[in-house]
Each structure stands twice: as structure tokens, then as C-alpha cells.
Structure 1
């Protein structure tokens, strides 16, 4: 129960008045009129003294707190001194506000710590990813400079390997630039009426050679014949499909199958990309969209890639006001899915 200063002063004054009258009733010669005057006067004096003391104390202490807050330039508080003092329990009001402020700042500190850890991991990953192709290319080129260039077979072989390393470095830098632009909003989406079925077909054709090398079969399944028109950036949504399909081929089983399913809802089109690979352990599912995160670092390195594909997919779909989801069971394969707004 919250009591105002006036109620507290009234109760204390009434108690003082009653005690005073009770005490005086034991004194000889005190008349009823005298008791009445003492009761009224003691009540009045006590009431105003207690009220003044409470309000003075509250005002002075709260004013000190308010000045301290003002000096610290804490703008997160959305309360005024007048609001605090007029409140039935100003100390409780101020305490609640400080508690909310501290809780919010603690949350911000934890987020900053998380971002700092993420930044350190990111810098370490970038350094490692850049170092690998640079050192490889340097090794091949310096070997040629040291005399191997005179051997035609060695020269061609080493130049091809150096070129491959530099191509990998170029792909990594391009992905980093694209990801940075997506995160900062510099890379704008150009939405058009796009046939997602046609986009998938083009992605199949682009990855046909890689699929053939692994013996992977690419299939598309729809719940009706014809086109599936969606609102999307054609270039970026093609990049999404290419990245998802490339991952499905890369991490799927040899001689396996990659299935893309299209399902139409009232206002959206659902896209599913499923492989029959070894799957992703549950502890990794929440992190696979992070930059450079690899479930199996050694095997991922062998299979190539920049480690940024899923991060790019996530940001492109976020720009489409969509979200990429993943479901996976060990030894049962992995399914990525997302939705796009349908247009007629």
C-alpha cells in the first residue's frame, strides 16, 4: 500500500493527539474543554510539523539525486523532478527508474561484450582466410623466381596453382565487400517481378558441372505447373539460390540428390533446398549463418569456399523482409527454406 505524506502526517498527528489526551486525563483539574483544545492544537501542530519534515526531507534528498543524475548527463531517464516529488512514493518511483536504467545498461554492456568477441573472432578469421591464398601464391611465384620457371611443365603447373589461389582471394574479397555493403545498407535491392522457378532453373544450369563431378542429381518439385512470380531482386535472389545449391552439392553425399521444392501460399511462395548429406549437429545450427563459421573446419577447407555464403544469404533475405531457416538431422540431410512475397 502506498501512503502519501499527508496521510502519514495525519495518522501520526492523530496518534500524538490521542496519546496526549489520554495522558492528560490522568491529571487532576483538567476539564473537557481543556482536553478538546489540547487535542485540536496538538493534532494541528503535529500534522504540519510532520508534513513539513517529510516533504522537506523528500524534496531535499530527491533534489540531490536529480542533480547527480543531471551532472552525469544520463538522458535515459524519462522522468522530471516535478513528477518524482508529486508521486505518492517518490523514492520508490526513482528507485524503479534507476533499476530499469541499470538493467538496460547491463544489457547494452553484454551486447557490447558479445560484439567485441565477435569482432576479435572475425579479425582472426579474416586474417587466416586472407593469409592462406596469399602464402600459397607467394610460394608458387617465389619457386618460379628461384629457377623453376625454366622447366616448362613446372612453370605451367605452378602458375595455374598461383592463379587458382589468387582467384580464391578475389572471391573472398568480393564476398567480404558484398557482405559489408549488405550489413551497412549500401547495397540496395532492386525489386522486380521475378519467376523464381526460372531463377532455380538457371542456377541448376550454372552448377551442372559441379553436380556432375560429384554425381549429384538436381531436381525441382512444384505443387503446380507454370511460373511462380515473386517480388525480388533478380540478381540477389539468384545469388541466394546459387549459394544454397552450391552448399547442398558440396556437403551432400556423392551420387546423392538435391531437391528444390516450391510451395505456393495465399500471399507467399515457399522455397525449400534439401540435400541428403550427413546433416548438421544441433549445437552448430544456431551459428552456421555467422561469417566464416564452419561445422567441420578441416573438411570445409578441403571443399573450398569463402565461408561467407550463408551469411550473405541471410542478409539478402533480410533485405527482402524474409528469413532463412534451417532444419537438419544427422545422417538424414539438411533443408534450408525461406519465403518470398508473391505477385501476380
Structure 2
């Protein structure tokens, strides 16, 4: 059955000519009572109407549609595209053309929205970057000016100011180092050196290396019951160590005093393992969760610059895990705790 919704120009011309020629042929029959005259009139009107309507459609409507298509793609047409415009496009119905234009408009809106979001992100990133550098620079400047202003005469004050200036220099060095590492990860300049290793052994090593920090807050670092069975993964050992260190260090910073940090390791299937680090600390409100892996992004609640760090730790973790063709995830509830995790490939023989 012919659908009137998706008529091509030729079909539309034929249908319109048929509607015109039928009453003309019937009129000739009623006047002349001659079947042959009626048929000739019908054919003449049908053929003439078809050619005229088709010409009008092609000349004044579909020619403009072709221009719209060329405007949409905004490029000089290749031979293949010229063939498309000449032979394929004229066969399309108005509804099909409308759908193409709507798809193009939706795609353009999405691209514009992405550009706006990227521009907003760029501005926010530059503002955060300027703030991160400005804070230690102004602090160093203040200490140096004070020392030059006469504080050097007092050894105790001079030593304290120099120590504080040194801390801010270290903060700037760490910031530059983290930015450089993220840039290298994004550009693929840091290749992965994958090997087999037991992920539980690495987590124990990280627990041990951060034991002084966790002891200060009386936080116990353990494995979830049932997750002690060794799981061998295939990944870049040193980069994954960096991920685990960042996750455990964050859990210590934002965990509850006298709380717990728990590592969970599961085999999700025969090819992948899931590694999660959980704390029972302040948690993260839901509106912040989609953005915690952005550079310098800090939530309003407790996760401030007062606890130290460059604000790039989770961004680095995200890039390292994505370089392994996996993704990171987060679950969190305010005043209950946070779980950060990622997947890795199982041992390769």
C-alpha cells in the first residue's frame, strides 16, 4: 500500500497528476459520452500534469533542498556527493529530508553544548590552576619579604619562615609534577609496562607505607572478609601502585577518626577483577559525585585545601585506569563513607 507520508518527488507528481486527470477524464465522458475521448483527455492531462508538477518540484523545491544539504555539510561536494545530490537525494521524500535536517540540527546542538561545556570547564580549570599556584607563591613572597625586612636577625623566626617557605615550594613542585604527569598520560607519552602481580600484596605494601599517617588518626586498614584469597592481575605495577596510594591516602584524609579503611577484591568474571577501597568518613553528597575525577575539583563539605594535596590525585587515578582500558567508579553517602574502585585484567599467561 502506498504511504502518503514518504512520497518521493516522482510519486508525489504522479499522485497529484492522477487527482487532476481523473475528474477531467470523467468530465469529458459526461459531455461527449465517448470512452476514447475521455481516455485521451485523461492521459493528456495526466502526462502534462505529471511533467509540469515534477518540473516545479525539482526546480523550485528540491533544488532548494539540495542547497540546504550543501549548507549543512559546508564543504565542496566531491564526485560521490554530487552523485548523491543528483540521483539519490531527489528520490527522498520531504519527510525523509526533514528527518535528515532534524538529525543534523540535533547533532549541531549537541556539538554546541559540548563546546560550551568545554569552554566552561576550561575557564574553571584556569581559575583553579591560578588559585592553586597563587596561594603558595603569595605565601613564599610574604615569608621572603619578612625575612628581608629584618626577620633574618632573629634565628628562630628565620628558621620557621624558611621552613614554611620550603613547604610551599614543595607544594608547587608537587603541583607541577602532577600536572606534567596528567599531560603525559593524556598524550600517551607514558607507555604501560604490564606484568602479573598479586593485587593484595600491593595493597598490603601501600597500607604499610602509609601506616604512620593512618596511625595518627587511629584508622585501621584491613581487607574485607573473604577477599584475602590472592588475585593476580595483569597491569603496570608502579602505576597501579600510584592509584592505590592515592585512594588509600584520600581515605585516610577524609575517613573518620578511629575509623576503618577496607579493601575489597573480587573476580567479576574469568577476565576481570574489581578492586575497591572504602572508608567510613564524611562522604560526598550526590551532586558532587559526577565531578570528583576532574582536575582540582573539591567538594564543599570538608574536602578543602586545608587537608593538603594538589587536587589532582583522583584525576591521575582516572587517567591511569583509563590507560588500562578500564574505568573508575565511586559510591558515597554523606556521613556514611565513600567507596572508590576500578577494574583490571586478570593474570595473562
The 8 Å contact of residues 244 and 273 in structure 1, kept in 2 or not, is answered as yes
Tell me which residue corresponds to 2:38.
39
Whole-angstrom CA distance in 2 between matches of 1:213 and 1:72: 63
* Corresponding residue SS for 2:49: helix
Report the Cα offset of residue 101 of structure 1.
Answer: 0.7
What is the CA-CA distance between 1:319 and the residue it aligns to?
1.4
How far residue 337 of structure 1 moved from its aligned partner, in angstroms, is 1.7
Rounded to whole Å, the distance in 2 between the matches of 1:297 and 1:159 is 32
> Is 1:16 aligned with 2:24?
yes
Q: Deviations along 1:187-231, whole A, 9 cap, x unmatched?
A: 332222222122212211221221122221111246365532111
Q: TM-score, normalised by structure 2?
A: 0.88
Gaps of 5+ in 1: 25-29
- 2:275 counterpart of 1:267: no
Q: 1:68 to 1:332 in 2, by over 3 A?
A: closer
User: Using the alignment, how far apart are the partners of 1:308 and 1:76 within structure 2?
Assistant: 45
| Post-superposition offset of 1:136 | 0.8
Displacement of 1:142 in angstroms is 1.6
C-alpha separation in 2, matches of 1:307 and 1:71? 45
Distance in 2 separating the partners of 1:92 and 1:74: 22
Instruction: Judge which range, 327-336 or 237-246, deviates more.
Output: 327-336
Determine the structure 2 residue equivalent to 1:323: 327
Separation in 2, partners of 1:298, 1:245: 17
What secondary structure is seen at the aligned counterpart in 2 of 1:80? helix
The aligned counterpart of 1:55 is 54
Relative to structure 1, the CA distance from residue 71 to residue 296 in structure 2 (aligned partners, 3 Å threshold; closer, same or farther) is: closer
How many residue pairs get aligned? The number is 333
| CA offset digits 1:245-266 (Å, max 9, x no partner) | 0000000011221111222343
1:7 to 2, 15, 38: 15
Deviation at 1:280, TM superposition (A): 1.2
Partner of 1:204, secondary structure, is helix
CA RMSD of aligned residues (A): 2.2
Q: Which residue of 2 aligns with 1:27?
A: none
**Closer, same or farther: CA 331–137 of 1 in aligned 2, 3 Å:** same
| Partner Cα separation in structure 2 for residue 64 and residue 107 of structure 1 | 26
Q: Distance in 1 between matches of 2:301 and 2:161?
A: 26
Measure, in 1, the Cα distance between the counterparts of 2:232 and 2:241. Answer: 14
2:160 is aligned with 1:157? yes
- Residue 188 (structure 1) aligns with: 191
